[in-house]
Structure 1
Amino acid sequence: MLTLTRFKMTMAAPAAVVVLLSACLQQGAPKAPNVHGSLIFQLNDTDSVAIPGYWYADTLVLNNADESLTLIPSDTIDNAWSVPVFDGSISLINDTGHWKDNLRSGDYKVPVQWKPQQTQEAAPDWSNDTLSWLLSFGEQDPWFGQLYLQQAGTLCRGSIATPTGDFRYLHGNLNESGAMRLQTFDGAHLFYFKGSLSAQGDIVDGVFLSGNHYSTPFSGTRISSSDNGLAEAPKAQWTGLPLAYSGVSIDGDSVHWTAKSAKGVHVLSVMGSWCPNCMDEHRLLLNLSARHPELTIHTLAFERGADNDQGKATALQRLSRYSEQMGVDNGRPNWRITLVGPASKTEAQKALPFLNRVVSFPTAVVHREGQDAPWIHSGFNGPAMGPAYEIEVAKFTSAVSGSLENR
């Protein structure tokens, strides 16, 4: 059992006691460098998500497939660890507590428990083969995705593509009897998929759960991984109106920008700090900014709760933390973060009438001085999608260098 108090430089900190596998560490002795285990999220009476991880001193690292989330002690909540980027927290006392999602309205919590294990599991030897299914979610108004999986024995990892983005890093099990379990926790989303394979290899009796607030049935038809079974989503188009926006900077100043007098290359990223696909696009833009220091990037944020004055103040505080955690901060003079409106595609289109619609968050718009029309890209496939992500990298790189047509 791992017993933790809030780790701070206070008189109480040296008295913290860690008990691991019934072996007591004497007060003042150094902690074991890595204490491995899993954080269990209890979705309901029968379903749970287990995210592997380890403690290093007072820091909790969760391994979400190929992604690592580093949680450090909260500055404001006792016995809690801050979830990076997405503003939530994990609270633990005697290994038991909850995940609090501050991006959702109300006091939204999911029970959690830390379960240590004696040894760290060996790294899987992943197959080069990819399995794929075309998924249908819901019954009355279905929506669709395409699941891609790799296997290493009964372990599996992959992602689900949709017409406007991906479900990021999924991992779990597919055993010999055909029982499938997939999960992810990236700080914003807690997803769980369960189902079974039929004799034909299709997914049947599937259920998709998001946290403890949403569930829907799904099914899957086995297809070749080289097939794209998804219909192409509608694309945002330029209306012919000048590129311009207004809002509030994270310093609280009014912002008004127009492309009419803008020099050089500008990227407008229509996003929300609550959006994991937006985070993936942001990281690509960070790389492009490092390679092209002349590039100016405008993060146009549409935030949850920003439809009233108090909500706007909270959103600006969240964006300030987002700026720091995502590497923008004050060290990048050519990067501007502006709160433009509430988290709504309808409101985003109203605030940005140069777009005929906002199909999804993120939406990227690249303006080049002297170019007749901007380059517009709806949605984003992140690094969990492998080759599809490399295509995104190539598109964005070409767009900022001027060698890609509008699409």
Structure 2
Amino acid sequence: MSRDDQKLPVILDISKNNDGKTYTVSVLNGTEKLKMDSAYFQNDSLVIPMMMFDAKIIAKSTGDELKGTYYRYANGAIAGSLPFHAEQGENYKFFRKGEAKSTRNVSGKWATILKNPTTGDETVAVGNFTQQGTDVAGSFLTPTGDYRYLTGSVNGDSLYLSTFDGSFAMLFKAGFQPDGSLKGSQWSGVKAFKTWTAKPDPQAKLPDATKMTFLKPGFEGVDFSLADTKGKTWTLKDPRFAGKPVIIQIMGSWCPNCMDETNYLAPWYKKNKKRGVEIIGLSFERSDKPEVANPKIDRMVTRFGIDYPVVLAGTSSDASTAKALPMLNKVMSYPTTIFIDKKGKVREIHTGFNGPGTGQYYDEFVADFNTLMDKLISEK
């Protein structure tokens, strides 16, 4: 893909299915193999749907090339697009094997500031990377989530990173400064742009994710009455939750970080539900109309094998989350995870999610999560 005279490199793995008509398409982000919806030919163009993210690629096939457009949709209309061009057999992002050469190394933690040059808004982040030769992998963590699996290269005095999750094609470029810091730009999706700076800092850290969203004074618990896609209304007073620790997953089918969290929670629940623990997903969608939102929720449930209830909670606007969960100061991130003990008391609220692309941060999350859940499950 390309934007603003920049290439946002994406690696796709495409294979024909046994039916001879459809294709399996996966995005390769380093160690991640992210499966898209089944692709198909329409006339002479390959259509790659990404229905969870209201997006698709339509590209004309000419020999060993695909040329077309990546489209983002909103309310059924095109909200933005990027040119798309793919060459068969090419399996690199920025440089072919052996092309990149550099004495620079970005392994470790980086104290980072991302800035929107239009509004002046700044976001504090932590970059965490590993480097082998000139190949780089890792992610940036922010107080509300991470940038998932970033991969790329160091070449000369420059760093190149990219990722694609169906929702956003993302590019980070930066140059090394005389003091060893990095200064660069970030292109994200069809229009977002930020500048960024980073300094090596082994002690770099983010604000405490358990202190950002909290219960308003006077509240000890959470309550709601919301329907799932089959029309069943769920509350925490349902017998299914009685006397059990409950995890409330504030999520959205459109949210890549929620996808990563669900990829952890769904199998964890299947393994641990016999221990007497429950999860319920509160999905805040782009639309609060059931006929629009429920199919998206169902696709996510099917894709990740979710067998805990997921309800439509409203839209992802501040007003909607405040209406659904008035006891919270604010939902600042998707996902946000609420941990409730057997007596119905909120014990922790965790903002954001450190996905597997963050390396040690993901390992720390898994350890902390299981320590907390073991404690809540063992309590009388």
Fraction of identical pairs, as percent: 25
Contact 2:245 2:376 in 1 (8 A): no
Contact 1:288 1:397 in 2 (8 A): no
Is 1:61 aligned with 2:26?
Answer: yes
Normalised by the size of structure 1, how large is the TM-score?
A: 0.77
Contact 1:242 1:258 in 2 (8 A): no
Is 1:188 aligned with 2:160?
Answer: no
Is 1:223 aligned with 2:201?
Answer: yes
Q: 1:237 aligns with which of 203, 208, 214?
A: 214
Partner residue in 2 for 1:370: 343
* Alpha-carbon distance in 1 for matches of 2:75, 2:355: 23
Query: Residue 288 and residue 70 in structure 1: after superposition, are their counterparts in 2 closer, same or farther (change >3 A)?
Result: closer
**Alignment deviations for residues 310-345 of structure 1 (CA, whole Å, 9 cap, x no partner):** xx42111111111111212xxx3xx11100111124
Contact 1:70 1:83 in 2 (8 A): no
Which letter does structure 1 place at the counterpart of 2:204?
N
| Residue aligned with 2:125, SS | strand
What are the within-5 Å matches in structure 2 for residues 1-400 of structure 1? 41-44=1-4, 46-57=5-16, 58-74=23-39, 79-83=46-50, 85-94=52-61, 95-102=66-73, 106-107=77-78, 108-117=80-89, 130-138=107-115, 139=117, 140-176=120-156, 178-204=157-183, 206-224=184-202, 227-232=203-208, 234-239=211-216, 240=219, 242-251=221-230, 253=231, 255-259=233-237, 262-263=241-242, 264-294=244-274, 295-306=277-288, 309=289, 312-328=290-306, 332=307, 335-370=308-343, 372-400=345-373
Contact 2:145 2:353 in 1 (8 A): yes
How far 1:254 sits from its partner (Å)? 5.1
Which letter does structure 1 place at the counterpart of 2:81?
K
RMSD, matched Cα: 3.0
Larger RCO (alpha carbons 8 Å, 6+ apart): 2
Contact 1:135 1:145 in 2 (8 A): yes
Query: Residue 141 and residue 286 in structure 1: after superposition, are their counterparts in 2 closer, same or farther (change >3 A)?
Result: same
Normalised by the size of structure 2, how large is the TM-score?
A: 0.82
Q: Which runs of 5+ in 2 are unaligned?
A: 17-22, 99-104
Contact 1:259 1:367 in 2 (8 A): no
| Residue aligned with 2:362, SS | helix
Query: Residue 118 and residue 360 in structure 1: after superposition, are their counterparts in 2 closer, same or farther (change >3 A)?
Result: closer
* Alpha-carbon distance in 2 for matches of 1:293, 1:363: 21
Contact 1:278 1:361 in 2 (8 A): yes
Which letter does structure 2 place at the counterpart of 1:228?
A
Q: Radius of gyration: which is bigger?
A: 1
How far 1:102 sits from its partner (Å)? 3.4
Q: Which runs of 5+ in 1 are unaligned?
A: 1-40
* Alpha-carbon distance in 1 for matches of 2:364, 2:330: 24
How far 1:191 sits from its partner (Å)? 1.1
| Residue aligned with 1:278, SS | helix
Which letter does structure 2 place at the counterpart of 1:70?
K
Contact 2:227 2:311 in 1 (8 A): yes
Count of paired positions: 348
Query: Residue 96 and residue 141 in structure 1: after superposition, are their counterparts in 2 closer, same or farther (change >3 A)?
Result: same
| Residue aligned with 2:262, SS | helix
How far 1:70 sits from its partner (Å)? 2.5
How far 1:56 sits from its partner (Å)? 2.1
Query: Residue 147 and residue 103 in structure 1: after superposition, are their counterparts in 2 closer, same or farther (change >3 A)?
Result: farther
Contact 2:24 2:39 in 1 (8 A): no
| Residue aligned with 1:245, SS | coil
How far 1:222 sits from its partner (Å)? 2.4
* Alpha-carbon distance in 2 for matches of 1:272, 1:305: 11
